[in-house]
Amino acid sequence: MTPLDAEHRHDQPTAAMAVADALAETILTEMAPGMSLPSEAELATHHDVSRLTIREAVKLLEGRGLLALARGRKAVVRQPDGAAFADFLTSVIRYDPKGLFDLIEVRLSLEVQSATLAAKRATRAGIAAIEGELQGMRDMLGAPGQEMSYEQEHGFHTHDVGFHEAVALASGNRVLGFLFEAMGRPLREGFFISRRGHEHRGHTLADTVIAHQRILDCIKDGNGRAAGEAMRMHLKDTERDIRVALSQLALRPSGRP
């Protein structure tokens, strides 16, 4: 008996669901990402159901992120990534915007750990990747006091996110990497609300570069504790800016009733 699986299963399992579970088991135990499943017709005869049932089972697994489907091609086993969880987190925030702060809170904890581990384990290549992103941020920064174009600001933000992902990668913890990947989109979606507030933020983009530089230095030194602390301070500042921006936004008449 596996009561663990009963959570979101139904009383009377449907044929499609049975096939989906069987396929998932096969995929996880016998197949690797990139491999192709047999054709729908073959699966249908093999599992003794109609092709339609196979299609529904396969669609279920596609929703779970286990398979990639495309017209005219057999279903391909997917390298698992955080996309499914990203969808989930997005829906959580959409249901309740307060969840954004929960997400930020969790991210803070994970980022601190990420920086700490990166300081202990980062390879030369990993550090180079982090440095590359930081340099990218600098390149987007115009002359001091000069207004940035939208492209520049967007590019800066991209490299900012890239920096954090590079740190996660350097930590050598794959689950951390997945979580970051999964949290990226919901966070961006949440942050987008506060984009208007960026102009009034307490910290300039130059400050951000300095903060990142400090984190990188700690990682290079192999000082995990300091790296974690630097990351924590940086994120605390960011969080404060977001809170200010959101509260300003809340005071204005919203576009939606």
Partner DNA sequence: CAAGCGAAAGGTATCAGATACCTTGGAGGA
Partner DNA sequence: TCCTCCAAGGTATCTGATACCTTTCGCTTG
Binding site residues, DNA, CB under 7 A: 11-12, 14-17, 37, 39-41, 49-53, 55-56, 69-75
Q: In this chain, which stretch among 131-139, 142-150, 170-178, 235-243 interacts with a second copy, using CB under 8 A?
A: 170-178
Of the two residues 117 and 226, which places its CB atom closer to a second copy in the complex? 117
If contact means CB under 5 to 8 A according to the sort of partner, which of a second copy, DNA, none does residue 227 touch?
none
If contact means CB under 5 to 8 A according to the sort of partner, which of DNA, a second copy, none does residue 102 touch?
a second copy
If contact means CB under 5 to 8 A according to the sort of partner, which of DNA, a second copy, none does residue 185 touch?
a second copy
Burial 216-241 (b: 16+ CB within 10 A, else e): bebbeeebbebbbbbbbebbebbeeb
CA-CA-CA-CA torsion sign (179, 185, 189, 195): positive
How many other CB atoms sit within 10 Å of the CB of residue 145? 5
Q: In this chain, which stretch among 84-92, 135-143, 200-208, 239-247 interacts with a second copy, using CB under 8 A?
A: 84-92
The verdict on 76 binding a second copy (CB under 8 A) reads: no
Q: How far is the CB of 154 from a second copy (least distance, A)?
A: 11
The verdict on 65 binding a second copy (CB under 8 A) reads: yes
Of the two residues 79 and 204, which places its CB atom closer to a second copy in the complex? 79
Query: Rounded to an integer, what distance in angstroms lies between the CA atom of residue 109 and that of residue 105?
Result: 7
Residue among 35, 29, 33, 37 nearest 78 (CA)? 33
Residue from 26, 46, 50, 64 in contact with a second copy (CB under 8 A): 64
Long-range contacts of 132-139 (CB under 8 A, 24+ apart): 132/166, 133/159, 133/160, 133/162, 133/163, 133/166, 134/159, 134/163, 134/209, 134/212, 134/213, 134/216, 136/162, 137/163, 137/205, 137/208, 137/209, 137/212, 138/209
If contact means CB under 5 to 8 A according to the sort of partner, which of DNA, a second copy, none does residue 40 touch?
DNA
Query: For the window 91-110, what string marks contact with a second copy as x by the rule CB under 8 A?
Result: xx-xxx--x--xx-xx--xx
- Burial-class residue 185 by CB neighbours within 10 Å (0-12, 13-18, 19+): middle
Residue from 49, 74, 80, 244 in contact with a second copy (CB under 8 A): 80
Query: Rounded to an integer, what distance in angstroms lies between the CA atom of residue 87 and that of residue 180?
Result: 13
Residue numbers at the binding site for a second copy (CB under 8 A): 4, 7-8, 10-12, 14, 16, 28-29, 32-33, 52, 55-56, 59-66, 68-71, 78, 80-85, 87-92, 94-96, 99, 102-103, 105-106, 109-110, 112-113, 117, 173-176, 178-179, 182, 185, 188-189
